[in-house]
């Protein structure tokens, strides 16, 4: 993943959402996921190895069976085209997540057994999964892949019920220092840069906040 100039500018302008949402899978995220499939599974046109073709065939057959349909796309010429177009076009978020979960559970289970020198392979399975989760964070979509399943991210400090009230509280002038540290830590987390996250409030911020709390208590 590259931290492009346009991404940094978007964060600087405050256009990146501070909380996760669950109602939409942006097209850009879907396209990036297709890129990950290609980089992990390889080129399905490789005549010397059928691993990628087998993967898309498995995805197509499983989805058709579970949805109770005969085909995912009426005019698809092959399983790759059917799966990709279905994933890019479906408006049902749950179905889109179905495709992500099924594909990456296959990658995790079968991909480790595939030869890594296949044509078109650029990522190992664990690298593809790591990028998948980073892309979901980048787009502010509250799901991540864990142990064979896509799960909602609701137990961490990113849910609207926790983050939004915290941000509103920290916007008060007396907590400005804490607010900046919170936003900095959250920005590092969203970008997948956990090494750069602060490990708690700075001493100056703690002392400043303690003074403000004492003032607030006197006012009460």
The tens digit of pLDDT for each residue in 19-42 reads 788 999 999 999 999 999 999 998
Q: Is residue 1 part of a domain?
A: no
Does 145 lie in the same domain as 195?
no
Q: Is residue 6 part of a domain?
A: no
Does 171 lie in the same domain as 144?
no
- H or E element at residue 136: helix 125-138
CB of 176 within 8 A of CB of 210?
Answer: no
The total of structural domains in the chain comes to 2
Q: How many CA atoms lie within 13 A of 119 on its CB side?
A: 9
Q: Is residue 75 part of a domain?
A: yes
- What per-residue confidence (pLDDT) applies to 220? 44
- What per-residue confidence (pLDDT) applies to 165? 61
- 117-158 pLDDT, tens digit per residue, is 666 788 999 999 999 999 999 998 999 999 889 998 864 544
Does 179 lie in the same domain as 109?
no
Does 183 lie in the same domain as 132?
no
For residue 119, which phi and psi values (nearest 5 degrees)? -65, 130
- What per-residue confidence (pLDDT) applies to 219? 47
Average pLDDT, stretch 189-208?
52
Could you tell me which of 203, 192, 70, 199 has the C-alpha nearest to residue 136? 192
Q: Provide, rounded to the nearest whole percent, the portion of the chain with pLDDT above 90.
A: 41
- H or E element at residue 146: strand 143-146
Residues in the chain: 220
Task: Answer whether residue 68 shows pLDDT above 90.
Answer: yes
Does 182 lie in the same domain as 73?
no
Does 134 lie in the same domain as 28?
yes
Does 117 lie in the same domain as 43?
yes
């Amino acid at each position: 993943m590259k931290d492009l100039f346009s991404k940094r500018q978007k964060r600087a302008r405050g256009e990146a959402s501070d909380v996760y949402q669950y109602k939409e899978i942006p097209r850009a995220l879907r396209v990036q996921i297709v890129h990950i499939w290609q980089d992990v599974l390889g080129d399905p046109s490789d005549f010397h190895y059928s691993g990628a073709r087998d993967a898309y065939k498995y995805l197509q057959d499983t989805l058709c069976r579970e949805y109770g349909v005969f085909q995912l796309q009426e005019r698809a010429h092959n399983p790759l085209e059917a799966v990709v177009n279905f994933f890019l076009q479906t408006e049902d978020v749950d179905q889109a997540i179905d495709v992500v979960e099924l594909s990456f559970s296959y990658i995790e289970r079968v991909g480790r057994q595939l030869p890594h020198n296949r044509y078109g392979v650029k990522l190992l399975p664990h690298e593809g999964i790591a990028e998948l989760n980073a892309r979901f964070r980048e787009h502010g979509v509250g799901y991540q892949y864990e142990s064979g399943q896509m799960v909602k991210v609701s137990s961490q400090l990113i849910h609207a019920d926790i983050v939004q009230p915290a941000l509103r509280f920290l916007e008060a002038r007396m907590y400005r220092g804490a607010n900046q540290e919170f936003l900095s830590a959250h920005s590092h987390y969203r970008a997948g840069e956990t090494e750069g996250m602060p490990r708690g409030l700075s001493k100056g911020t703690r002392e400043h906040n303690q003074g403000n709390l004492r003032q607030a208590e006197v006012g009460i």
